[in-house]
Structure 1
Amino acid sequence: MRVRLTVTALLVAGAMTLAGCGGDPAPVFEEAAGPVASQSAPAADEAPVVVPSILKFQGKTLEGQSFDAASLAGKPTVLWFWAPWCATCFGQAASVADMQRAHGDKVNLLGIAGLGRLDEMKQFVAEGDVANVKHLNDASGAVWKKFGIVEQSVYLILDKDGKVLNKSWLDSMQFEGKVAELAKA
């Protein structure tokens, strides 16, 4: 939101300057190489949320809505890479759904579906009863490639600052324990 407002303000200021309605010309900004401030405005007593480079990717949800991973910044995050035909992934769905219900207010959980067709992905979510988690359609494998994921099922667990804490398969007890730890942090 803040970035969009800043861009809008700069465009308005530029237009006003061209029309003779302003003083100094609008400043030119270069893209930051490192983390940037989040799009959401912080509370008065909070520092701005920084978007780590690891969360600089976009995609489409299984419902076709645009998704920007920058929205995950500031909270611990679990990226769950799964495939619709993967029996192991299907077995993990219950734990993922449970962790969303138990800790979704403190930990982001995002499913990243790949290696399948959209109809298969949607069927997996419905039959796995994991519709309470947001899922990206990564049929092209772009997000999987960004993170070097070459097989399913992998949990990529990030702390609130974007530091990788885990990048591997976990059994349900390990996964649930790690998410509970993140929720306490």
Structure 2
Amino acid sequence: MRARTVLPATVAAALLALTGCGSSSSDAADDAGAISPSMASSPTQPPTGSDGSGGTGADESKVPGALDFTATTVDGKPFDAKTLAGRPTVLWFWAPWCPKCKAQAAETAKVAADYQGKANVVGVAGLDTNAAMKGFVSDTAIDSLPHLSDEKGEVWKRFKVTEQSRYVILDKEGTTVFEGVLPGGKGLAEKVAGLIG
């Protein structure tokens, strides 16, 4: 019975060590990183809509299954993903120690500001402690968009994300239209613009 308990933890540790976030410039290295079994998520505060109402005002009966979850932001506020319904949504999965994630921060925040009220941009932090996540948000000055504290990896698992520095982009119906790496966030604005149309 002990082997069953130790083997998954050993495999997870080996994967994390082999796929860590490095500074190589190759596309394969941009995809590096693995989900930690200790990652978590919590309940959440709705993002503010362009009208200041706290969301899109979407009919909850029309909320896509992908957005039927709650979490907690890195600053401890409750977040309900249902408030994202009705608009294109960018979920940016990042880790505080990842240099590639840090390189994506400025462009991701710019896209969030440029498309405020037309599209949602939400950071989903994992693979570390909430204190480290808060430090990353502060150090990169990206507190203008909500960031979920997903220490247990519940949101990461929901979207089948296994590596940091990845984007999952949903159209206004909640269908995933892109999942992958955008080095430095390049191309994110164009992908969002194509969904606003």
Q: Shorter-normalised TM-score: what interval?
A: 0.7 to 0.9
What RMSD over aligned residues (CA atoms) do the two structures have, in Å?
Answer: 1.9
Give the 3-state SS of the residue equivalent to 2:87 in structure 1. coil
Distance in 2 (CA, whole Å) between partners of 1:78 and 1:41 is: 18
Aligned to 2:102: 90
Compare relative contact order (CA 8 Å, sep 6+) and give the higher one, 1 or 2. Answer: 2
1:173 aligns with 2:159: no
Give the 3-state SS of the residue equivalent to 2:97 in structure 1. coil
Which AA in structure 2 matches 1:67?
F
Label 1:85 to 1:57 Cα distance change in 2 as closer, same or farther (>3 A): same
TM-score, normalised to structure 1, is 0.72
Q: Report how far residue 40 of structure 1 moved.
A: 7.2
1:146 aligns with 2:174: no
Gaps of 5+ in 2: 1-54
Distance in 1 (CA, whole Å) between partners of 2:176 and 2:141 is: 28
Aligned to 1:115: 127
TM-score, normalised to structure 2, is 0.68
Higher Rg of the two aligned structures: 1
Give the 3-state SS of the residue equivalent to 1:181 in structure 2. helix
Which AA in structure 2 matches 1:135?
H
**Which region of structure 1 is more displaced relative to structure 2, 65-74 or 172-181?**
172-181
Label 1:49 to 1:159 Cα distance change in 2 as closer, same or farther (>3 A): farther
Gaps of 5+ in 1: 1-38
Aligned to 2:89: 77
Q: How many residues in Structure 1 have an aligned counterpart in Structure 2?
A: 142
Give the 3-state SS of the residue equivalent to 1:63 in structure 2. coil
The within-5 A match list for 1:1-185 is 50-171=62-183, 172-183=185-196, 185=197
Give the 3-state SS of the residue equivalent to 2:104 in structure 1. helix
Q: Report how far residue 54 of structure 1 moved.
A: 0.6
| Percent sequence identity over aligned pairs | 42
Task: State whether residues 88 and 118 of structure 2, in contact with CA within 8 Å, keep that contact through their aligned partners in structure 1.
Answer: yes
